[in-house]
Structure 1
Amino acid sequence: MATKVVAIAIVASNGVLGDGEKQPFSFAEDWARYKRVTLGHPMVMGRATHDAIGRWLPGRTTIVVTRTPSVVSLPPAGSTAVGLVATSVEEALAVAAGLDDVVYVAGGGEVYRQAWPWLTELDMTEVPVAAEGSVTFPEIDPEEWMEVRREAREGFDFVGYERRGTAAPLV
């Protein structure tokens, strides 16, 4: 079975993800859903995103992408969180694909952009308000992505997209 590579993000109507340190939005239902869908699956994220979370997330393998692996402190022995480090998004995705047939890409903006050719799905929390911030999600082109589900909530929607056509194969 082919690996599903899913970008998961909360995004403002103007594409903003945050300011490089924090997200502009926080909804308890969104965090609970994020935990539920990513639990048990590997996640790929940049070092700044990992630092902003402030801890290793239990119950999943997090692969942190950084040019300087020595700056990342791995989880302690006996932790339910597993941490790995990769020096490129491509390397991180290849490692993650060797662990599970579903891989989540969890940001930030540059990691989403670099992972774009391999993404098969987008799992978005769309907030219909503009936000301040310099970190953005890539534009979702309807020629490339088809909306396949939308679940309206109070103040945001959970939206799923599938790639039209084929994503680049993971090596």
Structure 2
Amino acid sequence: MKTLIRENGAEALIGLLVVLLAAWFVSFAWSRTGGGGPADAIRVKALFPNAAGVNIGTDVRVAGLKVGTVAAQTLDPASYQVDVTLAIDPKLKIPKDSTAAITSEGLLGSTFIALVPGGDTTPLKNGDTIIDTQGSIDMMSMIGQFINKSGGDAPAGGGTLAETPATGK
């Protein structure tokens, strides 16, 4: 048995290092993707008509700064809207009448949920629902509408023959 350990000690050590590295990677990935958010986070819900681009771990921001993550999302069977659970930093006292909008950092930027604080003195607490929300905008459909309506009300190909100048005859 001792000779077996001596002969395979290096392989066993390398195997142990690989397992430890894999455990560290799983822990790192879990924390970077939100992993459900911190245990002490304030969990509030928001109903969105369209949540395209939002996944578990998506940032929640106030004034451009990350204040939380998306912890869960489900389809509400009554309204067919996306029920998104936000895990927000408990140190922040975000007003109860705040609004939430799904937006992006630009045409090719990542999607995030922007919270716009309201004026209420009562802060959000666990289980509250943000009423005023705006879903994500379908950029491809907007570009398609712009392209299809770029000519105005005039028919394609210019005007009619009655609008052409006379040749003098």
TM-score normalised according to structure 2 size? 0.23
Higher CA-based Rg: 2
Greater relative contact order: 1 or 2 (C-alpha under 8 angstroms, separation 6 or more)? 1
Higher strand share: 1
TM-score normalised according to structure 1 size? 0.23
